[in-house]
A and B are shown apart, each in its own frame.
Chain A
Amino acid sequence: MAARDRHGKDAPWGEFAIVGKPQRKVDGLAKATGAAIYADDIALPGMLHAKTLRSPHAHARIVSIDASKALALPGVHAVITGKDLPVKYGVIPWTPDENALAVDKVRFIGDPVAAVAAVDEDTANEALKRIQVEYELLHAYLDPRESLTRHDPAIHEGRKEGNVSKNVLLEFGAVDQALATSDVIVEDEYTFHGTTHAAIEPHCAVAQYSADCVLTVWSATQITHYVHRALARVLELPPHKIRVVQPCLGGAFGGKSDPFSLEFCVAKLAMKTGRPVKMLYTREEVFYCHRGRHPMQLRYRTGASQDGKLQGVDARVLIDGGSYSSFGLVTTYYAGQLLTGPYAFPTYRFDSTRVFTNKPPCGPKRGHGSVQPRFAFEVQLDQLAEKLALDPIEIRRRNFVGEHTTTVNGQRITSNGFLACLDQVERASDWKTRHGKLPFGRGLGVAGSMYISGTNYPVYPNQMPQAGIQLKVDRSGLVLAFTGGNDIGQGSNSVVQYIVAEELGLALDQVRVVAADTDLCPVDLGAYSSRVTFMVGNATIDACRKLRTELVEALAAHWKIDAKRVRLIHGEALDLEDSTHHLPIVEVFHLAEERFDTLGATGSYNTPELGGPYRGGTIGASPAYSFTAHVAEVTVDVETGRVRCEKVWIAHDCGRALNPMLVAGQMEGSAYMGVAEALMEEHTVNRFGLHRGPSLLDYRIPTSVDTPELAALIVESLDPEGPYGSKEAGEGPLHPSIPAISNAIFDAVGIRLKHLPFTPGKVLAALAELRAHSGEPTLAGEAR
């Protein structure tokens, strides 16, 4: 690890001036006043509007496409099909199996087949109706178990694995032996349904192709760099002739991580017509192309000793990938690799298999690949506690993996505040006096989790930095920071602003941030895997320290004092030993520019070598892990089967909260999303593969009235490698909400819900089964 990648946990000037306190966001007032520009707010002179024709069949061969009638319609400027964009792509370089528009066959209802550019949306929609496509229907796979065994017809031809997208089998230690000698074993099956991101902003892209053959694409993406690479590949253009810009982004949650069909289509249509082209997906289209959380069928067998210490975990996971690979290779690894904390597993085996089906393709959603196993395992841990008559918080404490240690699968853990998280939720929820003692129908449940702060494995192998930053110092007193990082609402641009102001002793309004524009900004790998604060933050400190050395040296020389006496704070330069010495920082900029030439600096971050010494050992290896514990409180109406989550206490170890208000926002938003997945949301298709409810009304995302009270409790473990000790906060805090609710339902009414979502029907069925087993005609409302 290069020296530049470790900056210590402490404040650059002894105490923090900005970090650690609630601050406005760098773009907050622009968003508040409607001035912020999102992709669909862009309008260019002469711009055409494009629309996509989508497959009405789940699996079919394309026999022919006739677009002549569409092209003949007045106002239509171009129609493109798969023949115009034949090069396959995929966000993971080893699995390029997507085409911008279907070539030869379609694989799900909604698969894009053709695109039209016309003078306006209405004309483009009318043109779509006039494109004639002849299909030959193929058998549609809708059950992942069928895809395991049947491979003809193949969803993707020419693969020796048939309809199996990826299998990972890894074993650490002698699991069978450990289970054979365990005092207690719990074995059970769990189901995670599919869910989706449902960011309120639909996908949108705008392209412009200039006379000097430079293609500019503005897109609602969370990974500008990968879109840049994919455009170059598919359009067969040199990358330096392409500029990708992410405007202000209206939410993503992983749903804008893949390159999407519309980015290639607007680019091709702009090149074909010589005019700017925009495409905006309808809400219905967003549901079809979603890349949401994978449905999983999970089987866990866990053994423990009499004192509750885990001995071995044996996992088998079947993952429904939908029709394309997307990030599926990583998902399949994450489904096993990310479970090995915050509890120590002496032995562990996981066998994860992802299969293709003819359904909308799945990808990464907040807590990629690990929310589903976490749900299953945390419920199983509760079952184990029940069997051993242990308190559910106590069994979690007893199995704590520790800090500065290595997990069974070779992941390096640095700081770990999980025990403090458990303490916080235990205290805040008054667990000791209330768990197991609330009236029938009301209960508390606990769950824990860990998550990565970025991963050391870049999506495409290379030795270059994962994050880069560039600072430009202006004679006006302004510092501009250029970052390739994608602010998707989580506040990563604000993090850059806070760090620059902290390091250089500036007021916040002396720092502005330019982000996610491939022409202007150094490469950053984008907003995924909770990497931005950790990696961009470290890169920012790196750049600032170089610049700070110059500023301090110039000022010390001017004042003829030792550099140690200089302090820069809130836009002023001070001499710590002589209060008559002080200057506005802008004059320090001038002194430094006179002495050193035009001012600026670059900085970068790359991860150290991490991961276990085996194939796949680097996938899931992170420079730091965050830890979370939740207690959820629920009420269960035994007459209607309705579960209401009343409150969630969320304790999260984020290392150091650079801005506690933004950290709390991430924790609350995560918990909200988990509660929704537990109780309300479900992404399903009918027997033809047609989405059951592609709207924000039918896919029931919670309103303010449905959302429980959320209490964010911040734990700061101060990580040795994070920027000032900080780690991630955007994804980890989602994980425990779902199992905590299942465990709270058990506390409330004595039923174990193992198949998501926890709908009234499932609750009533489980209650009926419980009564049948107990042999008592227990009535609703009866006391425990």
Chain B
Amino acid sequence: MRGRMGLLHLRINGDDVEVAAPSHWTLLEVLRYRLGLTGSKQGCDKGDCGACTVLLDGKPVLSCLTLARTVEGRAVTTIEGLMPAHVAAGGKGADPVQDAFDRCGALQCGFCQSGIMLSARALLDRNPNPSDEDVRAALAGNLCRCTGYTQIYQAVELAIAEATGKRPTPRSWESAEPRGSP
């Protein structure tokens, strides 16, 4: 059942690529099964979970609902693109958003997180100092089943704090009171 094949030209994480794929394939399928960029995940394949979120010309889109041939010639950023871009800009190691997620415990199973980190990255690129409400709104399209979102917010807050010099809110379990039995 090979569909009609089409040739696509995309700018993926800064590189121009040419790829042949069935014309009914989604961007997610092309990324995962043609280009080997498996960091973008498929959780539902119908736009409900947000795990497949990638940046299209800098804006978050659901790659499972995006027909690959509709983005011909456009720039796509996947989770694999963040660290190289950060390094190319003179940084060291992972992108600050990725690093903050690791340092805040936001990566439990990690399956939904590439979509969430890209949503967060797009927000911070647009607005380096967003409010809590802005952060909530930006992440409302991404489901996470592990964290209860708290450590995700803390990670985004940490990334914002480090970029702006703000002090992050202390976490509930870091209170001045000693832990344990009184």
Contact = CB atoms under 8 A, between A and B. Distances in A.
- Determine if chain A interacts with chain B: yes
A717 interface: yes
A36 B149 CA distance: 21
A29 B94 contact: yes
A709 B108 CA distance: 19
A251 B111 contact: yes
Interface in B111-163: 111-114, 117, 136-137, 139-153
A713 interface: yes
B181 A32 contact: no
A713 to B, nearest CB: 6
B173 A714 contact: yes
B4 interface: no
Given A122-B3, A671-B148, A713 B172 contact: yes
B69 interface: no
A704 B154 CA distance: 13
Nearest to A124: B1
Contacts of B147: 665, 668-669, 672
Contact of A660 (B3, B98, B173): B173
Given A34-B79, A423-B182, A707-B148, A126 B39 contact: no
Interface in A488-524: 488-491
B102 A200 contact: no
A663 B144 CA distance: 17
Most B C-beta atoms less than 10 A away, residue of A250, A711, A715: A250
B48 A696 contact: yes
A249 B94 contact: no
A308 interface: no
A705 B171 contact: no
Contacts of B180: 417, 420, 714-718
B35 to A, nearest CB: 11
A672 B148 CA distance: 5
Interface stretch (A37-45, A84-92, A333-341, A462-470): A37-45
A200 B149 contact: no
B111 A120 contact: no
A696 B43 contact: yes
B110 A248 contact: yes
Given A123-B1, A716-B179, A249 B148 contact: no
A669 B108 CA distance: 10
B56 interface: no
Given A671-B148, A715-B181, A695 B46 contact: yes
A102 B64 CA distance: 32
A717 to B, nearest CB: 6
Interface string A13-43: 0000000001011011101111111101101
Contacts of B51: 200
A251 B108 CA distance: 8
B113 A31 contact: yes
A712 interface: yes
Contacts of B45: 282-283
Nearest to A248: B110
Given A657-B179, A665-B108, A704-B152, A24 B1 contact: no
A384 B103 CA distance: 45
Nearest to A403: B181
Interface string A645-669: 0000000000001001111110011
A482 B153 CA distance: 34
Contacts of A283: 43-46, 48
A200 B109 contact: yes
A367 interface: no
Contacts of A1: none
Q: Is the interface of B mostly helix, strand, loop or mixed?
A: loop
B133 to A, nearest CB: 10
Interface in B9-53: 22, 32-33, 36-46, 48-49, 51
B113 A489 contact: no
A24 B103 contact: yes
B148 A668 contact: yes
A417 to B, nearest CB: 5
Interface string A712-727: 1111111000000000
A716 B40 CA distance: 39
B67 interface: no
A695 B110 CA distance: 21
A200 B1 contact: no
Chain A: interface size category: 35 or more
Given A32-B107, A37-B38, A200-B112, A120 B49 contact: no
A254 interface: no
Interface string B78-101: 111011000000000110001101
A488 B109 contact: yes
**B3, B40, B173 — which one has the most chain A CB atoms within 10 A of its CB?**
B173
Contacts of A417: 180-181
B107 A662 contact: no
Residue among B41, B110, B139 having the largest count of chain A Cβ atoms under 10 Å: B110
Nearest to A665: B105
B49 A710 contact: no
Contact of A199 (B80, B117, B145): B145
A631 to B, nearest CB: 13
A202 interface: yes
A606 to B, nearest CB: 29
A783 interface: no
A697 interface: yes
Contact of B136 (A24, A27, A704): A704
A123 B3 CA distance: 10
B148 A710 contact: yes
A668 B149 CA distance: 8
Contacts of B71: none
Contacts of B101: 28, 32
Given A29-B94, A705-B140, A34 B114 contact: yes
Contact of B1 (A25, A33, A126, A671): A126
A201 interface: yes
Contacts of B149: 672, 704, 707
B65 interface: no
A420 B181 contact: yes
A37 B152 CA distance: 21
Nearest to B47: A697
A38 B1 contact: no
Q: Which of A201, A488, A713 has the most CB of B within 10 A?
A: A201
A701 interface: yes
B75 interface: no
B102 A697 contact: no
B98 A251 contact: no
29 contacts: A24-B103, A31-B102, A31-B113, A32-B98, A33-B82, A34-B37, A122-B2, A199-B109, A201-B43, A202-B42, A250-B109, A250-B110, A251-B108, A253-B145, A489-B111, A664-B105, A665-B150, A668-B150, A671-B148, A673-B148, A696-B49, A703-B140, A703-B141, A703-B142, A704-B153, A705-B137, A714-B179, A715-B181, A718-B180
- The 6 residue pairs across chains A and B that have the minimum distance between CB atoms: A34-B39, A489-B109, A250-B111, A672-B148, A31-B110, A28-B102
Interface of A: 22, 24-25, 27-29, 31-38, 40-41, 43, 75, 120, 122-123, 125-126, 197-202, 248-253, 280, 282-283, 417, 419-420, 423, 488-491, 657, 660-665, 668-673, 695-697, 701, 703-705, 707, 709-718
Given A34-B114, A202-B42, 20 more contacts: A27-B107, A40-B41, A41-B32, A200-B49, A200-B112, A251-B145, A252-B109, A282-B45, A419-B181, A664-B105, A665-B105, A696-B49, A701-B145, A709-B150, A710-B150, A712-B173, A714-B180, A715-B179, A715-B180, A715-B181
Interface of B: 1-3, 22, 32-33, 36-46, 48-49, 51, 78-80, 82-83, 93-94, 98-99, 101-114, 117, 136-137, 139-153, 171-175, 179-182
